[in-house]
Chain A
Amino acid sequence: MRQAIVDYLQMNRVSLTPAIIATTLPYINDRDPIYIKNKKHIYVDVDQVNQITAINALDGSGATQEHTNIRAFLVTDAKQVLPNYETIVQTIKDARLTPELNVQGVTQRLVTVQTHFMEDALVTEFLFHFVKLIPQ
């Protein structure tokens, strides 16, 4: 599902300008996440998957709910907020609606946006939450 989000952001990169989509994962670089160093880059983490039983059947069939969480990060200058910051955030949020996820059978798609400060940086963290049903 990470790729679906990255693909959506690439298609809508004009709305994200001046932020650009990083090709690497948000790894740790010299004790800090790479997105702290590279401001105005959007980093998308890999899928975190959790499965829970939706329907138990006596013959071992049934259905399972698969929850997938994906985090994305954008760091900007806290002292001078980007003029189109809200447009950028909205565009990243809209990645949850990408039609590519319809093919993958997603039934629920939610996103949470949180911010915090690290020194003079505004860290915007997006948490995408997708649910789909799969055979047990």
Chain B
Amino acid sequence: MTAAPTSAPATGGAALADDPAWAAAVPRIGRSFRFQWEPVQNCHVLLYPEGMVRLNQSAGEILNRCDGQRSWAAIIASLEKAFATSGLAGDIAAFAGMARQQRWVEWD
């Protein structure tokens, strides 16, 4: 197996951003995935049973911070600081919703 993750319970990014509890949640990499840097491919990847998702730089930076220690709020702050910018919350919420749907990340 197996296919790239395609379907899972529907929790869209938009809905997530409207959920006030969301930013306090502490995400970790999904149980069936391993997240790592691949020098040969020059990108972060998610590995799962017999499969791989190549991540672009933004996705890699976000998932790199999903360490089970930091809340989404802290991750947003960290990224805004690292990239000297602001207003990332909406984009990150959208990514978080998608990533949870794909089970790349999970939180309680």
A and B co-occur in one complex: no
Query: Which A residues are closer than 8 A to B by beta carbons?
Result: none
Interface residues of B (CB under 8 A from A): none
